[in-house]
Amino acid sequence: MKKHTVICRAINICKTYWRGKVAVEALRGVNIDIKNNDYTSIMGPSGSGKSTLVHILSCLDTPTSGEYYLEDKLISTYTDLELAKIRNEFFGFVFQSFSLLPRLTALDNVALPLMYSGVNKQARVNRAKDILAKTGLSDRMHHRPNEMSGGECQRVAIARALINNPKVIFADEPTGNLDSRTGTEIMELFDQLVEEGNTVVMVTHDSNVAAHARKIVKLKDGLIEHD
């Protein structure tokens, strides 16, 4: 059995934003561990701090105070360039709005992160084809986003998130723009990815979506209300 080691560890994380002279405490001392092959849903009302927490865990933002470790290395010791490389190679991202480049085909959208990693073109194409096949899109790889359904676009986004074999996949409301049937299909794909050993952290308002996870973290007013 594969040992469940901690990938992300947040200790007493606080995040304060300033709106003029008014301080807004988005996070107020959050502690959370993400282990390999975890399937975690982060829930909470608007303004609870869930998006802020995910932005910090995925190195899109930094905490005001507290410590965040990535595989036992303190994240504050990384340079901006190192953090950019981590975001590209260490994490995969799936967004509610898909965030696909409209002029690129599904194949090129999926292969794009590998270009930033310096992988040669043929290797990029071969890897992207394999991942698109895995997500059920072999027959759609040469289509552009406006030629695909919402569910197909989200599958492309998931394939893109998988292309660099990330340690953690972060999904922000991945079914938010989909009808219920298509949303269920996307959640079944995430379930399959976790069964295959991937690690998923998902932000959602939907309790039915959250129920797919093995662990549900509920935030309220910048604090973990329930874990």
Give mean pLDDT, residues 122-150. 95
Q: What is the four-CA torsion angle of 94, 98, 102, 107, rounded to 10 degrees?
A: 50
pLDDT tens digits, one per residue of 15-37: 999 888 899 899 999 999 999 99
Instruction: Calculate mean pLDDT across residues 59-77.
Output: 94
**Domain coordinates in residue numbering, the chain:** 6-226
Mean pLDDT to the nearest integer, 151-168: 95
- What is the pTM assigned to this prediction? 0.91
Average the pLDDT over 160-189 and give the result.
94
Determine how β-strand 91-95 pairs with β-strand 6-19: unpaired
Whether the predicted pLDDT of 52 surpasses 70: yes
Alpha carbons 182 and 149: distance in angstroms, whole number: 10
Mean pLDDT taken over the chain: 93
Instruction: Name the band, by pLDDT with cuts 50, 70 and 90, for residue 47.
Output: confident
CATH code linked to domain 6-226: 3.40.50.300
- Work out the pLDDT band at 12, boundaries 50, 70, 90: very high
- Strands across the sheet with 22-35, in order? 22-35, 6-19, 65-70, 73-74
Please say if the pLDDT value at position 184 is more than 80.
Answer: yes
- Of the candidates 209, 224, 225, which has an alpha carbon nearest to the alpha carbon of residue 39? 209
Cβ 52 vs Cβ 42: under 8 Å? no
Strand order in the sheet with 200-203: 91-95, 168-172, 200-203, 39-43, 215-220, 223-226
**50 pLDDT higher than 70:** yes
- pLDDT at position 3 is 64
Kindly tell me if the per-residue pLDDT of 4 is higher than 80: no
